[in-house]
A and B are shown apart, each in its own frame.
Chain A
Amino acid sequence: MTQNKRRIYLDHAATTPVDVRVLEAMQPYWAEHFGNTSSIHSLGREAQQGLDQARQTVAEVLGCTPQEIVFTGCGTESDNLALRGVAFAAREAKRGNHLITIPIEHHAVGATVEQLRDLHGFDVTFVEVDQYGMVDPDAIEHAIRPDTILISVMYANNEVGTVQPLAEIGTIARAHGLPFHTDAVQAGGQMNLNVDRLKVDLLALSAHKFYGPKGVGVLYIRSGTELISALTGGGHERGRRPGTVNVAEIVGLAIALKLAQERRETENARVAALRDQLVAGVFERVPEVQLTGHPTRRLPNSASFAIKGVEGETLLMALDLEGICVSTGSACTTGEAEPSHVLLSMGFDREWALGSLRMTLGHLTHPEDIATVLDVLPRVVAQLRNA
């Protein structure tokens, strides 16, 4: 029976379990140092101290000043604040009306720019990506117009793991005097986050992707970047994100980020080796399968596939019944069995794009999990193809 088997979690791109050291770091801030950071009294100061330390820690990882860090409620909120904040500030200053992005962004960016276009009259250019999901920086430069106000390109794609050439795009953005935003939510725990090296002006992170708690995110805003707050209220986060500060989780985020960055290289090497075994095994045992995303310039924990003649959603249900937790990476919330917009943008035809499978490794991944998956997956794919 499936219930008795050990559950295999290969969905670290969806979320990760909270690290025990993160739990411990957060613990005093629920009921002991529970103060409101805005309070003048000692309890307020205790909370403020936790917040200050967390901000300092995050700033060190990103190589920026603490004043450039804004804590938010999640990655989606960070992206919204960046895009809306910069777009509306630019409109206020009558600088222009045009945004540049790519078609394979996470919906946190994709749906936001669509709304800015459809509801608020901004103009958006989606610069095409190649078959690996990679954007050509020259194509970005080509799309720049006199009225362009912002470039937004994700760090690493959530479905296929492709890592974009941020520094090259950042160089172009600077040459044209344009702010450059990146959704680094999926890259957060695995990639270098130095904002000067990446040449980004806005960068979004979410704690739960790197063994921190759900419900807390970061937006880095380079000093001098003009931005209008999306929320209005008190003066928290220097007015850029009003609302009572979620101290405990912010403390958790900072510790989680620090830990992730400290063990980044060893952990990346470990999961990449397992990932490579997994990819090789899938190619060996499953007929008519393609790797999606870039073969080398991709997140070390990411293995993503298109499997011909198989519906991704049904495949993940069938794997779930075998105790294997994976994802399609496609958004099946509005209609039925919609092919992934990412794969379609990368030029996959519908028949392949329906059968997307994403397996993302992490702390919970053991070498024997790979063997189990390589045993179960070919059988389940055959079962689906024969049904």
Chain B
Amino acid sequence: MSDLPAANNQPPAATRVVVAMSGGVDSSVAAALLKEQGYDVVGLMLKLWSDGESGRVNRCCTPADVDAARAVAQQLAMPFYLINIADSFKATVVDYFVDEYVAGRTPNPCLMCNRHIRYELLLNKALSLGAQYLATGHYARVRHIDDQYQLLRGVDPQKDQSYVLSVLGQQELAHAVWPLGELTKPQVRELAARYQLSVAEKAESQDLCFLASGDYRDFLVRYAPEGSIRPGEIRDTTGKVLGAHQGLPFYTIGQRKGIGLAASEPLYVIALDAVENAVIVGTKNELGRRECLARDMHYVSGIQPIDPFRASAKIRYKAREAAVTVYPQGSSARVEFDEAQRDITPGQGLVLFDSDVVIGQGFIA
């Protein structure tokens, strides 16, 4: 791991780093690496909101995860605090998740969490505790060059998490530390074993951490406002009614299975019309689009471009990258793909890269 941008050339022992602990392998190894380098490391764990109504346990920050994180902190002889932020998480991440689905969009709650929880609420806590840096177990890198902080992909292409960190700006990156950015997952597992961390064998954590085991559809039915999820029509692109659907949130763009229609050629969900409460289906050819609008554009540099520019775009976390031309339009941008894309999904983050550097991000309209 590269050294931290040494604040005032202080020795590591005089530099306090708060590590966001989850009880998983990644954040534990991140803490161990920082500790080994001699930093004044403090562990914080967020107790997020849990789906209490289901009577089931969340996928993350369970009591077992808290125990695991505390055990690692004890092993590394670092202070450890659990912070309950259930109400904030519910208001900024869970409600957003539900609202977006009800509006016929497909949200990425991790983007909201990183913007409002990790790099706002938690970062402020860290600074309050006298820390200069907030470290997490993300696979991404930060580079300080010419008075600019750049966000770079993690070197492990399998694990790169720069997509979900693309919401960060200069303020946040100035305090961000990602000790795993230069490492691959197998290397991290090796380190966990070498440090003899009790969590070395732990399974990968899940996205949608706030869901209890089970389907997100189940969750939406319980948390969406009464009457907001209702049956409606399935139509083709000409407006012809082909059947009935059970509610918009149960469908995603590109979905083929489970539509429940018999047709001569396979039909895909190509749009969700919230105004008409209609699911629009079409053939594989109709699915592809050459352009989209990205709203609420955020540029990591803090500088809003005026002229069109070339970039490489990811239209969801695990999407293959596509070459694009971006035409900035005020707070939005029109994005033209060199080749038609099948799964352009409203609500998802569209993240722009220049080689390894994240340029910025918007939400697909």
Contacts and interface: CB of A to CB of B under 8 A. Distances in A.
A387 B42 contact: no
Nearest to B85: A336
B10 to A, nearest CB: 12
Contacts of B127: 387
Interface string A1-18: 110000000000000000
Interface stretch (B76-84, B159-167, B197-205): B76-84
B83 A313 contact: yes
B40 interface: yes
A139 interface: no
B304 interface: no
Contact of A335 (B13, B86, B129): B86
A317 B125 CA distance: 10
A191 interface: no
A314 B40 contact: no
Interface in A316-373: 317-318, 320-321, 332-337
A320 B13 contact: no
Nearest to B87: A336
Contacts of B305: none
A313 B88 CA distance: 16
Contacts of A387: 124, 127-128
A256 B151 CA distance: 60
A314 B128 contact: yes
Given A1-B13, A1-B40, A321 B130 contact: yes
A329 B83 CA distance: 16
A320 B43 CA distance: 13
Interface in A300-324: 311, 313-314, 317-318, 320-321
Contacts of B124: 387
A111 interface: no
Interface in A1-38: 1-2
> In this complex, which of A313, A317, A320 has the most chain B Cβ atoms within 10 angstroms of its Cβ?
A317
Interface in A189-216: none
Contact of B86 (A2, A314, A336, A384): A336
* Chain B facing A: main interface SS: mixed
A383 interface: yes
B79 A321 contact: yes
Contacts of A318: 128-130
Interface size class of B (residues with CB under 8 A): 10 to 19
Nearest to B47: A336
B52 to A, nearest CB: 11
A337 B84 CA distance: 7
Contact of B129 (A314, A332, A334, A337): A314
B140 to A, nearest CB: 24
Contacts of A335: 84, 86-87
Contacts of B16: 321
A370 B40 CA distance: 25
A321 B128 contact: no
Contacts of B88: 336
B86 A321 contact: no
A313 B47 CA distance: 14
A2 B41 CA distance: 11
Nearest to A379: B130
B129 A321 contact: yes
A336 B84 contact: yes
A380 B131 CA distance: 12
A380 B16 CA distance: 14
A76 B280 CA distance: 62
Contacts of B128: 311, 314, 318, 383-384, 387
A193 B40 CA distance: 47
A3 to B, nearest CB: 8
Given A318-B129, A320-B79, A321-B79, A332 B84 contact: yes
Nearest to A322: B130
Interface in B118-156: 124-125, 127-130
Interface string B85-129: 111100000000000000000000000000000000000110111
A314 B87 contact: no
Contact of B125 (A314, A332, A380): A314
A167 B317 CA distance: 69
A8 B40 CA distance: 20
A317 B40 contact: no
14 contacts: A1-B40, A313-B83, A314-B128, A318-B129, A318-B130, A321-B16, A332-B84, A334-B84, A335-B86, A336-B86, A336-B88, A380-B130, A387-B124, A387-B127
Interface of B: 13, 16, 40, 42, 79, 81, 83-88, 124-125, 127-130
Given A314-B125, A336-B83, A336-B87, 14 more contacts: A1-B13, A317-B79, A334-B84, A336-B84, A336-B85, A336-B86, A336-B88, A337-B84, A380-B130, A383-B128, A383-B130, A387-B124, A387-B127, A387-B128
